[in-house]
């Protein structure tokens, strides 16, 4: 309003000036010129008065506008302060679930660079014989690679004893061979308790990974990838699902809960949804090892999806459960709209991430686990304690959530562990 008034006042003043100049040039009507001049002067004064009044009105309106603007700004500041206080209060209560899930994901996108152990050996250990009990699953084969590399670095002898379901008989075979150490994975002590007791009585120590049993309970000398580590894996994949779905996922976890460590993963996942995703649904498809070995997992998943078409995320407890699922779902016309994710991928799953038929998985450095078990053996061999054992039970991990991240990992069938871990362990061992 102020600018508009000024624009109108300027032409008016110019018109008055032109009129005054034109009147002074007319010499024929000198008698009327005085009257005309007086009239013009009066008109000019009247216009000036009106213009000043208009300017005063503009000033008053500007002042009112400024006051209103200041009031609005103050109100906005108060509202922002209230919002900030509300955000702080929400943060104190755990914050927005989806935002919290995304923050957890963002913290776990980069591969860890360092191995867990940091204490050098007091001396180079003498040659020993190690028995690795290979469970015949792909995950155990990857751990076996770690045993092969680590024992070779130390100049030790490795005996690989493969079994399908009977871990006890293979353990007994190792004892009968008189080995110095035994390595095993994912096996509850209850399945091999007699052999554990016999091995300990003979001075043969057993190193384990991927079971929930703590060291010194029922006979294990160390444990990596234990319940604490698996809880983090379950939390990581569940937060990734929450963030990816925007807090609205319907999840079916494909699991073998007979394995204690996998039951822990399920419990950690459920707790994560309870904390960060009240609108998510979570259910478990509980299978058995026999069903896995018989190739029945894909069919069981198809039946679950047909009975509950709302499921949009399949969470595999470990890589072996995902074998053949993509092809089966494609044949059943059920793959579209269902996201396949999980814990502990393998090379085939990495390729499927590249192909876009799998979405995201957490890593599980199984080759590193083999190195870590041999590291514990080497420390025992030179008479050292292992004060970092509990800290190292948390194996390093990160989230693979794109083809760009997955493709470079395919040649090694997954992430074996921190880059250069063989050199890092060798330096600690003095070899």
Report pLDDT digits (tens) over 141-162: 989 999 999 999 999 999 999 9
Q: Is residue 11 part of a domain?
A: yes
Q: Is residue 43 part of a domain?
A: yes
Q: Is residue 49 part of a domain?
A: yes
Helix (H) or strand (E) holding 290: helix 289-293
pLDDT digits (tens, 9 = 90+) for 346-379: 889 999 999 999 999 999 899 999 999 999 999 9
pLDDT digits (tens, 9 = 90+) for 383-411: 999 999 999 999 999 999 999 999 999 98
CA-CA-CA-CA dihedral for 27, 30, 36, 37, to nearest 10: 80
Instruction: Report the pLDDT value the prediction gives residue 67, as an integer from 0 to 100.
Output: 53
% of the chain exceeding 70 in pLDDT: 78
Instruction: Report the pLDDT value the prediction gives residue 60, as an integer from 0 to 100.
Output: 52
Return d(Cα 167, Cα 144) in angstroms, integer: 15
Q: What is the pTM of this model?
A: 0.71
Show the low-confidence residues of the chain (pLDDT under 50).
Answer: 1-55, 58-59, 63-64, 68-69, 72-73, 75-77, 79-95
Return d(Cα 226, Cα 320) in angstroms, integer: 19
Instruction: Report the pLDDT value the prediction gives residue 308, as an integer from 0 to 100.
Output: 97
Instruction: Report the pLDDT value the prediction gives residue 137, as an integer from 0 to 100.
Output: 80
Of the candidates 401, 396, 394, 393, the one whose C-alpha atom is nearest the C-alpha of residue 415 is 396
Q: Is residue 155 part of a domain?
A: no
Q: Is residue 343 part of a domain?
A: no
Alpha helices (runs of H) in 322-388, residue ranges in sequence order:
325-331, 347-355, 366-381
3-class DSSP state for residue 252?
strand
Instruction: Report the pLDDT value the prediction gives residue 47, as an integer from 0 to 100.
Output: 46
Instruction: Report the pLDDT value the prediction gives residue 57, as an integer from 0 to 100.
Output: 52
Q: Is residue 326 part of a domain?
A: no
Q: How many domains does the chain have?
A: 1
If you write DSSP's letter for every residue of 155-184 in order, what string do you get?
T-EEEEEE-SS-HHHHHHHHHHHT-SEEEE
User: Whole-number mean pLDDT of the chain?
Assistant: 83
| Residue 257, beta-bridge partner list | none
Q: Is residue 38 part of a domain?
A: yes
Return d(Cα 374, Cα 376) in angstroms, integer: 5
pLDDT digits (tens, 9 = 90+) for 284-299: 999 999 999 999 999 9
Q: Is residue 100 within 8 Å of 409, Cβ to Cβ?
A: no
Provide the residue range defining the domain that includes 16.
1-24+31-69
Q: Is residue 200 part of a domain?
A: no
């Amino acid at each position: 309003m102020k600018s508009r008034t000024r624009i109108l006042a300027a032409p008016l003043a110019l018109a008055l000036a032109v009129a005054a100049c034109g009147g002074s040039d007319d010499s024929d009507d000198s008698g009327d010129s005085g009257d005309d001049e007086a009239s013009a002067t009066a008109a000019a004064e009247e216009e000036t008065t009106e213009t000043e009044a208009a300017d005063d009105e503009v000033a008053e309106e500007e002042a009112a506008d400024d006051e209103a603007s200041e009031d609005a700004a103050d109100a906005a500041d108060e509202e922002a302060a209230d919002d900030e206080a509300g955000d702080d209060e929400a943060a104190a209560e755990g914050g927005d679930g989806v935002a919290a899930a995304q923050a957890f994901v963002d913290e776990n996108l980069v591969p860890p660079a360092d191995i867990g152990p940091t204490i050098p050996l007091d001396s180079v250990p003498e040659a020993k014989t190690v028995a690795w009990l290979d469970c015949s699953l792909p995950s155990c084969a990857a751990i076996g690679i770690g045993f092969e590399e680590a024992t070779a670095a130390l100049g030790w002898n490795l005996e690989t004893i493969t079994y399908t379901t009977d871990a006890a008989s293979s353990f007994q075979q190792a004892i009968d061979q008189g080995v110095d150490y035994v390595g095993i994975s994912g096996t509850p002590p209850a399945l091999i308790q007699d052999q554990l007791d016999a091995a300990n009585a003979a001075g043969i120590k057993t190193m384990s990974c991927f079971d929930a049993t703590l060291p010194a309970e029922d006979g294990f000398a160390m444990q990596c990838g234990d319940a604490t580590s698996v809880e983090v894996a379950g939390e990581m994949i569940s937060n990734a699902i929450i963030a990816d779905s925007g807090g609205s996922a319907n999840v079916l976890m494909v699991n073998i809960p007979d394995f204690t460590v996998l039951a822990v993963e399920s419990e950690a996942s459920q707790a994560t949804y309870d904390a960060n995703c009240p609108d998510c649904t979570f259910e478990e498809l509980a299978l058995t090892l026999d069903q896995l070995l018989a190739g029945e997992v894909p069919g069981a998943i198809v039946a679950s999806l047909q009975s509950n078409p709302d499921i949009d995320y399949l969470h595999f407890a470990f890589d072996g459960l995902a074998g053949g699922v993509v092809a089966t779902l494609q044949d059943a016309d059920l793959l579209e709209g269902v996201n396949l994710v999980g814990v502990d991928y393998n090379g085939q799953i990495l390729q499927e991430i590249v192909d876009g038929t799998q979405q995201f998985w957490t890593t599980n450095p199984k080759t590193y686990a083999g190195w870590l078990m041999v590291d514990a053996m080497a420390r025992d061999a030179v008479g050292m304690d292992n004060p970092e054992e509990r800290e190292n039970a948390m194996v390093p991990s990160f989230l693979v959530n794109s083809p760009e991240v997955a493709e470079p990992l395919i040649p090694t069938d997954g992430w074996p562990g921190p880059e250069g871990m063989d050199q890092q362990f060798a330096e600690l061992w003095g070899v």
